Amino acid sequence: MEFLVDSGAALRRIFRTQWLLAGLALVLIAIGIAYHCLSTHAETGRREQHQLSHLGSLVGQLVERRLSTVDALLTMVAGQYLGYLSPPGELDKLSADMQRYIMLGRGADILLLLDARGEVLASNRPELVAQNFAHRYYFREAKAAVNPENRIISPPFETVLGEYSFTLSRKLVNPDGEFIGVLMATLDAPFISRLLGGVLMSEDMWAALVHGTGVTVLSAPEHRLPDGQDIQRAGGFVAAVPATHGEQRLLEDAVTLGEPHAVAVMRISPPELQLNQPLIVGVGRNLDAAYANWRRETWALGALYLMLVAAAFFGLRHYQRRVRDDWKQVTRQQAL
């Protein structure tokens, strides 16, 4: 009888040890799954940030290059205008040259030479000659510029030709420093729109070019951040723009139009252009969509783990029940 009691106690100790080992194994598996989920979450975040950073930098460099090209065009045209009242034939020739420059793909749509009163003297668009645009931002700001080397980047607006665009302009002065007019070029908005759309790698991504005042210049997909809208009031990223040209900042949880996004923000303000306002490039992705695959994998691993726990619990209980039944049968036979 004493032997049976001892063997029963030993069996219970074995059962407790089995449960402890099973519990320890499940805890270790849970720790492994948690570590995997946390590490893949971090890796997903790093991958998304790297991708957004790369795309934002690419867009910023191409927009900067386009600005420099248009500025070189303005400088070239400025060299052909001496500042005095040119004969009509000279201005006609300048207009023809402007048309040729635009056809050669200099990065602009409209070129205007305006006199000190804001009247158009020459343009690649003949229908604009003799019109007065003294009220336009690009003329007023250029005229008010202290340094003729400053370049004026305007907020977006609709031109008299019905085209939505933004401009780069510069102040013209004579050798005595007297204001004599303004040169203006509208930037190639369709090209920049295609550029923004070309970096989108998924439906939940967006890209935008924003004026330093916070107004959206262009965005992709079209109207994702409506053109001309103050993105700061829309819950934007302009307040986080870096302080120096070419610097980039990554925002992990920016709220744009009420949704959380990861956003790469880059400032475009080339020192040689001395822009009155920077341009800001933003490339973002919806955070929920970015982590969608990670969530699916995490749920799948969680479900598999619960199945493993259930299998371990019921399997071990069934096994121990069979052992206990066998032990009882042996003890009954030994008691006879």
Q: Which CATH number do you get for residue 200?
A: 3.30.450.20
Decide which of 6 and 292 is more confident: 292
Last residue of a domain, one of 188, 218, 244: 188
| pLDDT band for position 112 (cuts 50, 70, 90) | very high
Nearest to 312 by CA among 15, 30, 19, 16: 19
The model's pLDDT over 174-222, given as tens digits with 9 standing for 90+, comes to: 888 889 899 999 998 888 888 888 888 888 888 889 888 888 888 888 6
Nearest to 167 by CA among 141, 147, 149, 196: 141
Q: Are residues 104 and 210 in the same domain?
A: no
Q: Are residues 244 and 164 in the same domain?
A: no
**CA gap 290, 44 in Å, rounded:** 8
Average pLDDT estimate for 170-176: 89
Neighbours of 131 (CB within 10 A): 14
Instruction: Give the pLDDT confidence score for residue 225 in this predicted structure.
Output: 60
Answer yes or no: is pLDDT of 1 > 60.
no
Q: Are residues 202 and 250 in the same domain?
A: yes
Q: Within a domain: residue 183? A: yes
Average pLDDT estimate for 71-99: 78
Q: Within a domain: residue 23? A: no
Q: Within a domain: residue 252? A: yes
**CA gap 124, 93 in Å, rounded:** 10
| pLDDT band for position 84 (cuts 50, 70, 90) | low
Instruction: Give the pLDDT confidence score for residue 250 in this predicted structure.
Output: 80
The model's pLDDT over 209-230, given as tens digits with 9 standing for 90+, comes to: 988 888 888 888 865 565 555 6
The model's pLDDT over 19-32, given as tens digits with 9 standing for 90+, comes to: 899 899 999 999 99
Decide which of 84 and 269 is more confident: 269
One-letter amino acid for residue 101 of the chain: Y
The model's pLDDT over 267-320, given as tens digits with 9 standing for 90+, comes to: 999 999 999 999 999 888 888 888 889 999 999 999 999 999 999 999 888 888
Q: Within a domain: residue 279? A: yes
Instruction: Give the pLDDT confidence score for residue 82 in this predicted structure.
Output: 65
**CA gap 228, 214 in Å, rounded:** 9
Instruction: Give the pLDDT confidence score for residue 3 in this predicted structure.
Output: 47
Bridge pairing between strands 179-187 and 157-158:
unpaired
Last residue of a domain, one of 188, 218, 239: 188
